[in-house]
Amino acid sequence: MMTTGVTVDLPKTKSTSVPGSDEPLSVTVKADGEVYIQNTKTEVASLGKKLQAILGEKKETRIFVRGDASADYGSIMKVIGEINGAGYSKVALLTDLSGQKQEP
């Protein structure tokens, strides 16, 4: 599965990837709370409008939220809330499938 966007340290997990045939849109939340649609920085408050401008009425488009493992949980939930509020319900949180994060 190919997703593009800003580099973040995704949380580690042992779950499997989600199958799908359509190309998803990537929304990234960096550790400092900055939000990106693909590689374009955006404000959380304008996220819904920007998604509607990009996707139009394609409400079935999959949107992958890539939250840095160090990002504030509330920041990620605000992003998901904005996406849902714009009418997009196929939202998935991405994780690193390589397994659990190793302790130093």
User: For residue 11, is it within any domain?
Assistant: no
Q: Is the residue at 69 inside a domain? A: yes
More confident residue, 69 or 16: 69
Question: What integer pLDDT is reported at residue 9 of this predicted model?
Answer: 75
66: domain CATH number is: 3.30.420.270
- Percent of the chain at pLDDT exceeding 90: 62
Is the separation of the CB atoms in 90 and 20 below 8 Å? no
Is residue 103, in this structure, part of any structural domain at all? no
Q: Tell me: the pLDDT tens digits for 43-85?
A: 999 999 999 999 988 999 999 999 999 999 999 999 999 999 9
Portion of the chain with pLDDT greater than 70, in percent? 73
d(CA 20, CA 45) in angstroms, rounded, equals: 29
Domain residues for the domain of 45 are 31-93
Strand order from edge to edge, sheet including 25-29: 40-42, 35-37, 25-29, 63-67, 91-93
Q: Quick one: how far is CA 64 from the chain centroid?
A: 4
For residue 52, which phi and psi values (nearest 5 degrees)?
Answer: -65, -35
Residue 15 belongs to a domain: no
- Average pLDDT over all residues of the chain: 83
Per the structure, the count of domains in the chain is: 1
pTM across the whole model:
0.73
Half-sphere exposure of 33 toward its Cβ, with a 13 Å CA cutoff?
A: 8
Contacts of 63 (CB under 8 A, 6+ apart): 24, 25, 26, 27, 51, 83, 88, 90, 91, 92
Residue 87 lies in a domain: yes
The whole-number pLDDT of residue 56 equals: 87
With a cut of 60, say whether residue 102 has pLDDT above it: no
pLDDT of residue 104: 47
